[in-house]
Chain A
């Protein structure tokens, strides 16, 4: 199985900060990676697919990059509604896996 390692697992930031989350795959997955946002008690929400394609309706302050084994999710200017947990997911195989998550909290 392909393992995904997210870093950091916890991040404390202020409104307006630029935030970067990294996701590393145990083997190359081309660009077959998605990013999700999850708020407490809610279902995950798709932000980005194919590593860098922004889902319709998602604010442009979110962006994704990378290919192969290293990927990043960047929030250019953190907003109050962005405090949540973020997960990467690989879909390179028929057995998709998720990263362990990055919780973004208010400093």
Chain B
């Protein structure tokens, strides 16, 4: 069974740091790009960051650029998100999600996110 399990969430003070982990199982982790997506309480989904299978390509949302660092350890089938200089507005459930892809008849890459983990809650408050 393909599974993603996040951990590492919790309560942290503004300005503090936290490291999230996402453990993957049931598929060849090293073959897939991965993503972090977050959801503030009662709000919609916000893409946070992505990393390619070999860590060669990394992207961030403007809202976290310079504060968050995505990384992965393919030997441990794990994805990470190091979050520094945390703010109240970073309070959210953080999900990891696998990037699925295929190339269509025009040669363009079709992408979607599946599966998603169950999420881990990060609360930034004094």
The residue in chain A whose Cβ has the minimal distance to the Cβ of B117 is: A43
B118 close to A50 (CB less than 8 A): no
Contact with A along B50-80 (1 / 0, CB 8 A): 1000000101010000000000000000000
Knowing A49-B112, A50-B104, say if A43 contacts B95 (CB, 8 Å).
Answer: yes
**Interface majority SS (helix, strand, loop, mixed), chain A:** loop
Out of B47, B95, B116, name the residue touching A95 (CB < 8 Å).
B47
B44 close to A94 (CB less than 8 A): no
User: Number of A residues contacting the other chain (C-beta, 8 Å)?
Assistant: 25
A32 close to B110 (CB less than 8 A): yes
Residue from B46, B59, B112, B116 whose CB has the most chain A CB atoms within 10 Å: B112
B118 close to A43 (CB less than 8 A): yes
A43 close to B116 (CB less than 8 A): yes
A32 close to B61 (CB less than 8 A): no
Q: Tell me the complex Cα distance, A38–B45, Å.
A: 10
The verdict on A28 contacting chain B, using a C-beta distance below 8 Å, is no
Knowing A34-B113, A49-B110, A91-B112, say if A44 contacts B59 (CB, 8 Å).
Answer: no
Chosen A-B contacts, 27 in total, with CB atoms closer than 8 Å, are A30-B108, A31-B110, A34-B112, A34-B113, A36-B113, A38-B45, A43-B95, A43-B115, A43-B117, A43-B119, A44-B45, A44-B113, A46-B115, A49-B112, A49-B114, A87-B44, A89-B112, A89-B113, A91-B111, A91-B112, A96-B35, A96-B47, A98-B44, A98-B45, A98-B47, A101-B44, A101-B45
